[in-house]
């Protein structure tokens, strides 16, 4: 089976069921399947063949979905790219991925032009939306042929290259086959009980693994309805929930924070049956506030990794009562462990590395054999995340290996300190990093975003932390900022913070 087969199946079994809604455009499964075929034939006629890499430098839209499936239907490899990247950053991915075509939104076309000029191999641009000078329009790839292309595909064929968040440097391209992504679809469908009558709202970026594989491809795999929003706005998201009777959505913690700023009760959110969160740690206090806001306790902690599809561990709604703050247990059809350096399992409460094994895990880092070799050991993916596991098998992530702070010989895990400060009434969000210190090696430093009009001193933060933390974990420095730097998946770029603060 390949990814596009799901659309064909639902077009045959439930042709009139709504598949996709974007702004004023609505597609049944039959209509969506025909539109995908039109572009599949057009792409093939213009020389795109099986194995070719095509980059999608696009915001969320119906055309993003159609383009991805049209490319998969002819065996091409989809390379979704963060639309926030600068021209040099975009050029790096276009070059490294061997892309021969990039689809760009009209509003992004100048950045795309600049990036293409920096790429050494031949590369074409097609604009999605309004025409741009000297660039072919994406609609020119649309043919009149609505039949299925006669191209043989295997589950083991390459399907997509997802570039990692780059929280520790230049992004690497995680290469996935069709069967890898279908394994994600099966796992998410099973764990969230996704049904045909569900309506899933996409507010996360589709270029990210959660947006593309946990939401877009899984919703369409299950034959449900996908509602696509181009950009995230907390008011517009709630309007969409009310208008389309949305039953499920996924948001990163920063999105939940923004949603909670909208006065409660402005919109009817009663249709929601499941709220998913992940991509970055979400503090217990924010989870509890969100449960109260949405009026449901059906919250799923989906703690996944790009290289795993995403896949990882899951905390079910009924487990939040006693295990809130934990990442959970392995998602369906995955194996998860926490191990020491010698690859033996840690004892309960002991910190080790979180590792994964699953059919959803990437094939390799594209054109990076050394990095690929370092990422695997005995068939297990080494995530680089530090974690603990309790007596009942629940895993809690405590830090990235590279983010752990060593002060005076003591290991300090930033997530633990962040969760304490997240509960402070004047703190909107916080990042904990270690800064160099001649006496202690590193010292704990809190970078905080305060609520509007609030003031907070280092002494007040220290006093608050001492009520919950050992003295060596208490921040020695505090820096107030207006916003924390994040990557597209919502993760705080701590290495950026460390670099900036070290230079000061």
Domains in the chain, ordered, with CATH? Answer: 5-17+28-153 (3.40.50.980), 190-400 (3.40.50.12780), 404-503 (3.30.300.30)
At residue 415, the pLDDT reads: 84
The answer on pLDDT for 280 being more than 80 is no
Per-residue pLDDT band at 165 (split at 50, 70, 90): low
Lowest mean pLDDT among 139-148, 225-234, 486-495: 486-495
> 141-157 burial, b for 16+ CB within 10 Å, e for fewer?
bbbeeeebbeeebebeb
Closest CA to 448 of 390, 492, 403, 400: 492
Per-residue pLDDT band at 166 (split at 50, 70, 90): low
Structure tokens at 343: 């690859």
CA dist., res. 338 & res. 71, Å (int): 38
Per-residue pLDDT band at 139 (split at 50, 70, 90): very high
Q: Distance between the two ends of the chain, CA-based, in angstroms?
A: 54
The answer on pLDDT for 167 being more than 60 is no
Adjacent-strand bridge partners of 22? 25, 228
Residues of the chain with pLDDT > 70: what percent?
98
Q: CA angle, corner 244, sides to 242 and 250, nearest 5?
A: 80
CA dist., res. 433 & res. 404, Å (int): 8
Q: Is 363 helix (H, G, I), strand (E, B) or coil?
A: coil
Adjacent-strand bridge partners of 132? 135
Burial zone of 249 (CB within 10 Å; 0-12 exposed, 13-18 middle, 19+ buried): buried
The alpha carbon dihedral of 266, 267, 273, 278 has a sign of: negative
Name the packing angle between helices 458-466 and 414-422 (round to 10°).
Answer: 100
Per-residue pLDDT band at 131 (split at 50, 70, 90): very high
Q: Is the peptide bond before 310 cis (omega within 30 degrees of 0)?
A: yes
The alpha carbon dihedral of 497, 499, 502, 504 has a sign of: negative
The answer on pLDDT for 254 being more than 90 is no
Instruction: State the pairing for strand pair 248-251/199-202.
Output: parallel
The answer on pLDDT for 161 being more than 70 is yes
CA dist., res. 468 & res. 300, Å (int): 27
CA dist., res. 134 & res. 117, Å (int): 14
At residue 381, the pLDDT reads: 97
At residue 503, the pLDDT reads: 74
CA dist., res. 177 & res. 199, Å (int): 27
CA dist., res. 216 & res. 212, Å (int): 5
Burial zone of 231 (CB within 10 Å; 0-12 exposed, 13-18 middle, 19+ buried): exposed
CA dist., res. 206 & res. 27, Å (int): 18
The answer on pLDDT for 180 being more than 80 is yes
Read off the DSSP letter of residue 318. Answer: G
At residue 401, the pLDDT reads: 76
pLDDT, averaged across the chain: 93
Q: Which residue has the tokens 């895993």?
A: 395
Adjacent-strand bridge partners of 406? 411
427-437, strands of its sheet edge to edge: 427-437, 441-450, 477-480
Closest CA to 252 of 413, 484, 421: 484
At residue 169, the pLDDT reads: 59
Which residues have a Cβ under 8 Å from the Cβ of 309 and sit 6 or more positions away?
A: 176, 180, 181, 183, 184, 209, 213, 358, 360, 361, 362
- The count of residues in the chain is 504
Per-residue pLDDT band at 291 (split at 50, 70, 90): very high
At residue 398, the pLDDT reads: 82
Q: Is 435 helix (H, G, I), strand (E, B) or coil?
A: strand
Q: CA angle, corner 53, sides to 49 and 57, nearest 5?
A: 125
- Reported as a single tens digit per residue, the pLDDT across 184-203 is 999 999 999 999 999 999 99
At residue 488, the pLDDT reads: 62
At residue 414, the pLDDT reads: 86
CA dist., res. 365 & res. 360, Å (int): 14
Residue 382's φ and ψ, nearest 5 degrees, are -90, 110
Q: What share of the chain is helix, strand, coil (3-state, %, to 5)?
A: 35, 30, 35
The answer on pLDDT for 172 being more than 80 is yes
Q: Could you tell me if 31 and 21 are in contact, meaning their C-beta atoms sit under 8 angstroms apart?
A: no
**What is 256-287 written as a DSSP string?**
HHHHTTSPTTSS--TT--EEEEESS---HHHH
25-28, strands of its sheet edge to edge: 25-28, 18-22, 225-228, 199-202, 248-251, 274-278, 299-305, 311-315, 329-330
At residue 489, the pLDDT reads: 63
- Reported as a single tens digit per residue, the pLDDT across 421-450 is 999 999 999 999 998 887 787 899 999 999
């Amino acid at each position: 089976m390949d990814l596009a087969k799901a659309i064909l199946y639902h077009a045959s079994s439930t042709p009139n069921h709504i598949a996709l809604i974007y702004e004023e455009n609505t597609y049944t499964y039959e209509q969506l399947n025909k539109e995908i075929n039109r572009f599949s034939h057009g792409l093939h006629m213009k020389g795109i063949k099986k194995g070719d890499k095509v980059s999608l430098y696009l915001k969320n839209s119906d055309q993003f979905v159609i383009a991805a499936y049209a490319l998969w239907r002819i065996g091409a490899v989809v390379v979704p790219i963060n639309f926030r990247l600068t021209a040099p950053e975009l050029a790096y991915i276009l070059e490294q991925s061997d892309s021969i075509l990039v689809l760009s939104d009209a509003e992004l076309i100048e950045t795309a032009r600049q990036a293409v000029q920096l790429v050494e191999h031949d590369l074409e641009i097609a604009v999605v939306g309004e025409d741009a000078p000297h660039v072919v329009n994406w609609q020119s790839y649309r043919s009149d042929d609505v039949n299925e292309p006669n191209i043989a595909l295997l589950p083991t064929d390459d399907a997509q290259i997802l570039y990692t968040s780059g929280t520790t440097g230049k992004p690497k391209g995680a290469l996935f086959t069709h069967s890898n992504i279908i394994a994600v679809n099966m796992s998410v469908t099973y764990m969230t009980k996704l049904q045909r009558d569900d309506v899933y709202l996409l507010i996360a970026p589709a270029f990210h693994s959660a947006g593309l594989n946990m939401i877009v491809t899984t919703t369409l795999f299950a034959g449900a309805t996908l509602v696509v929003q181009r950009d995230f706005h907390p008011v517009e998201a709630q309007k969409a929930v009310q208008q389309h009777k949305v039953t499920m959505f996924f948001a990163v913690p920063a999105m939940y924070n923004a949603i909670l700023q909208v006065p409660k009760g402005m919109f009817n959110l009663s249709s929601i049956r499941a709220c998913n969160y992940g991509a970055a740690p979400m503090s217990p206090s924010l989870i509890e506030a969100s449960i109260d806001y949405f009026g449901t306790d059906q919250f799923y902690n989906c703690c996944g990794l790009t290289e795993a599809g995403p896949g990882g561990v899951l905390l079910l709604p009924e487990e939040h009562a006693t295990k809130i703050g934990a990442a959970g247990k392995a998602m369906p059809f995955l194996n998860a462990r926490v191990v020491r350096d010698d690859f033996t399992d840690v004892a309960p409460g002991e910190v080790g590395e979180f590792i994964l094994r699953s059919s959803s895990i990437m094939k390799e880092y594209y054109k990076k054999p050394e990095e690929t070799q370092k990422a695997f050991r005995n068939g297990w993916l080494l995530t680089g995340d530090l974690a603990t596991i309790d007596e009942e098998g629940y895993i809690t992530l405590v830090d990235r290996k590279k983010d752990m702070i060593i002060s005076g010989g003591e290991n300090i895990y930033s997530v633990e300190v962040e969760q304490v400060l997240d509960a402070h009434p004047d703190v909107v969000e916080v990042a904990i990093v270690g800064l160099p210190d001649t006496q202690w090696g590193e010292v704990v430093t809190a970078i905080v975003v305060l609520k509007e009009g609030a003031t907070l001193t280092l002494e007040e933060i220290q006093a608050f932390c001492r009520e919950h933390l050992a003295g060596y974990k208490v921040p020695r420095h505090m820096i107030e900022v207006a916003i924390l730097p994040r990557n597209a998946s919502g993760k705080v770029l701590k290495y950026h913070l460390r670099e900036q603060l070290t230079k000061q």
